[in-house]
Each structure stands twice: as structure tokens, then as C-alpha cells.
A and B are shown apart, each in its own frame.
Chain A
């Protein structure tokens, strides 16, 4: 029994090494000079560490990271608010077939391959004068966030007992009042899960960013990182430093708030 337990831990730790290897080699490589990258193996750290690669990667990524932070924050807020209101209507105000049909209509977009709307999207955003702008990115990510935020909130509100809402209605509260005074405070956990899920999704996007931006005015960090690959072809230290900089927000979320992110995944969520 004891040896079997030991074997179990050995297997788990072996898997851990495999999963961490790409991160490990990225960290070691990002702390080397270009010469050290070719002279030493990517497994080993070099002392003293060299921070020049981070400096260069950061100066390239500074503006795009700020762009991403800006539009990700706003699109997260908007898509979560809309999802919450819609979920409230679908789970509490409307009942039966109407509600079910509307839910399917709104959430079917979760399974949409974005390629099939990409050209019209580019036309819509261009016609609105929002090509290569932060508002354009916010609008796009809000729109394509609505299906998943609506699903997460609707499922959450199904669990809220109707009696709570009925009691308030008897007191003469309007649906808006019921929402602000009862439903909203009750759904803080759903807001946390959905917001974290949306932030990760929007921050990680590449496809919308590469199609809807050009130049630095609104370019997301992911698009700039992909471009660094072209402009620093053999500079693995700069590429790895850049990748880790772009990974920081979502790595932080997974490590510190992983519980909530995982709850987002298990509620029937989709990536990319």
C-alpha cells in the first residue's frame, strides 16, 4: 500500500515536470543574453541573471499591454452586466417556452466558429468608424461575450428561489428595484466567476485583435507578441520575456483565483 502511494506521487510529480517544462525553459531563457542562449542549455539558469531581454520586450509591449488592459476591463464589465440582466429576465421574469427559446437564440453563439462572422465583423466595425480603435475592440468583445455570460448567469439565477423575488413583488417593488436590491447582491459569486472568465478570454484573444487593429493605437498584447516572433526571429530571450509578460495577468488569475476560473470552465464554458 505504501509503495503504491509512493508510486502515485512519483507519477503526479513526473507529470508536473512535463507540464512545467515549457514555462521553466521560458524563464531560464528570458534571463540570458543572446550569446548565453546559444552557449548554455535551456534547462539551466545562468548567474547572474540578465534583465536586458525583459527591458527590450517590455519597451515593445508597453503600449499594447495598456491597450489590452483597457479594452479587456471595459468589455468584461459590459458583457457581464448585460449577461446578468439578460439572465435575470430569462430565469425569473419570463417563463416556459419563450424563455427557453430566447436562451437558445442568445447562447447558440457559444459554439460559433468566429471565422464565419469575421468578414462581416470587419465591415461593421469599419463602417462604424471603429477600425483600429479601443471602442471597436470593446464593442466586439462585449458582443461575443454576451452568449457565454448570459448562459452562466441564467444557470445561476435558476438556483435563486422564486420566493425571495415574489416577496419583494408583493411589497410593490418594480422588476428594476428587485434586480438592484435583491438579485444583484445575491449574484456577487456569479459576477466574480463570470468576470474572471471573461477577463481571461478577452485578454487571450488573438483573432479579433489581428483582424480589427493595425499599428499601435489599439493593438492587443497578443498580436504584438506574435509580431515580435517575426521581428526578433532568433532572439529567444526576448521572445520568452515577451511571452511571460503577456502571460502574467492570466497566470496570476489561475494561481490566485483558479477556483473561480475553474468554476467558469465546469459551467459549460468554451475557449477561443
Chain B
């Protein structure tokens, strides 16, 4: 029996090696290295590890572009996260009414989420093109000229245009999450409420929506973390422009690091992003860990 146990631990270790090595090197070692780089003066293509302490962070916190990016990140979170959650919930509720072709509708709504951000950014560049683009042409045809806009070329509109397109892409995901949540509520609870004379509105208000806490929270965390690292879509659609009107932290990090080759400075922005995502994720993990124990 003892020999058996030893054999099993040996196999466990053997099977775990690939995952532990990859995660250890590419995630944990890389995180520590990145933080270390943020304390150095590495500028230009050849690495330099001269220690400068918190100098990069001091410059960063006095950099107006950093605060613009930070502000835009907050606006993105405040509009994109609730926007995607609410639209997804609405679509899920609409689809949960014994609809014919439910699968067809569901696939269509979820289609954008299966695409690369590079693809969707290319599609939306054409949607938002001010001269011949889809939206302005459509609004002209429908005599809704007051809705026409310069979209991503107008610094006052660009960020909101980006957010609108991202909600288009993510609401299919939140719909899927909510639909699974609604479907997992037991039919007895439905029946009990219906016997008590609840109308559909009350059914959602008092029975279904209160039980969607878990899917809401997990979708919330996914959307929040995405808002922090959103890069591909914005980079391809606007490159952060016009000016810095659609700069967010991830865009600034890329531009400082790879366009201006200020590696140490870029590493400090990356560290700020890491800390922000910790602030979102750790309470969530703590909460779900406790939930599992209970």
C-alpha cells in the first residue's frame, strides 16, 4: 500500500511538471521580472538594468497622458460593464420565452464575440467612417441626419463610439451567461410563483433576477478585467486617437514600450495594470472560495 502511494505521488509530480514549468516561467517569473524592469532605466533596444528605484513611477504619476488614459479607463468601465450586462440580461430574458428559432437568434447575437478584435475593429472602422461609412449612410437614407456624426474622428465622440462597438461584441457573451443562469433555476420555483399568481414581470423581478447573482458577478469580473487589458480593438480602430481621446492604460503601455522603446517606463504602466486587476480579482476569488466552502 505504501509503495502504491509513492508511485502515485511520482506520477502526480511527473504529470504536473509541464504546467508548473510553463506557468512558473511565463507567468510568475515574468511578472517578477517585469516589476524589476520597472525599477530600472531601460530605454532603447538594448536592455539596461541600472536600478533607479521608483523614478519611473514618479514620472508616470506626473504624466498627463497617464491620467488621461486612467480617466478613459474609468469611463470605459462605467459604461461598457453595465451596458454589456444589461443588454445581455435583456436578450436572455427575451430569448427565454419559448422562442421559435431560439438557437438561430442566440447564435447571431453571440457571433461577434467569437471574432478577433482585429476583425471587429476593421468592420467598425467602416461602420464609423464619416464620409461613406455604413452608419452615416444609413442615417441619411432614413432621414435621421441628426444622428450623423464624425464618430471615431471626433475627439469628443471617439471613446463612446469605441464603447458602443465593444458592447455590441460582448453582449452576446453576457446573454449566454445569463441564459445559462436562468435555465439553471429549478422549475418548482417558477411553478410556485405562477401558482401564487405572479405575472411575468414579477416572476423576473422577485424570482429570477435575485438568483442571478453568481453569473452576474463572474461576468462582471470578466468584463472588468477586459476593460483593463483592452488593447487590440482600440489599437486597430483608433490607435488611441484622435489625439489621446481613446488612450487607455493598455494602449499607453504598448505605445511607450514598443513605439518609443521606453521599456522600463512601459513596465511601470504594466505593473499598475497588474495591481488594478488584483484589486478586482482577489476579492472575487475570496468570495467564490468562501461560497464553495459553505
Contact = CB atoms under 8 A, between A and B. Distances in A.
Q: Do A and B originate from a single complex? A: yes
A115 to B, nearest CB: 4
B15 A89 contact: yes
Contact of B11 (A38, A111, A174, A268): A174
A270 B223 CA distance: 9
A243 B94 CA distance: 31
A23 B95 contact: no
Interface residues of A, number: 91
A93 interface: yes
Nearest to B100: A9
A144 B277 CA distance: 17
Contacts of B113: 265, 271
Nearest to B102: A12
A203 interface: yes
A129 B3 CA distance: 43
B186 to A, nearest CB: 18
B126 A43 contact: no
Nearest to A255: B107
A225 B118 contact: yes
Given A15-B91, A41-B141, A206-B118, A22 B176 contact: no
B143 interface: no
Interface of A is mostly: helix
B81 interface: no
A207 B34 contact: no
Interface residues of B, number: 94
Given A115-B270, A225-B122, A229-B236, A258 B108 contact: no
Contacts of B22: 82, 142-143, 146
Given A108-B281, A124-B30, 9 more contacts: A41-B137, A41-B138, A82-B22, A104-B285, A116-B31, A123-B47, A203-B116, A204-B115, A223-B118
16 contacts: A8-B97, A22-B134, A37-B132, A89-B16, A113-B225, A113-B250, A117-B30, A120-B33, A124-B26, A146-B22, A169-B4, A174-B11, A222-B118, A229-B236, A246-B118, A262-B106
Interface of A: 8-9, 11-12, 15-16, 18-23, 25-26, 29, 37-38, 41-43, 82-83, 85-86, 88-89, 93-94, 102, 104-106, 108-109, 111-121, 123-124, 140, 142-144, 146-147, 150, 169, 174-176, 200, 203-207, 211, 222-223, 225-226, 229, 236, 239-240, 242-243, 246-247, 250-251, 253-255, 258, 261-262, 265-266, 268, 270-272
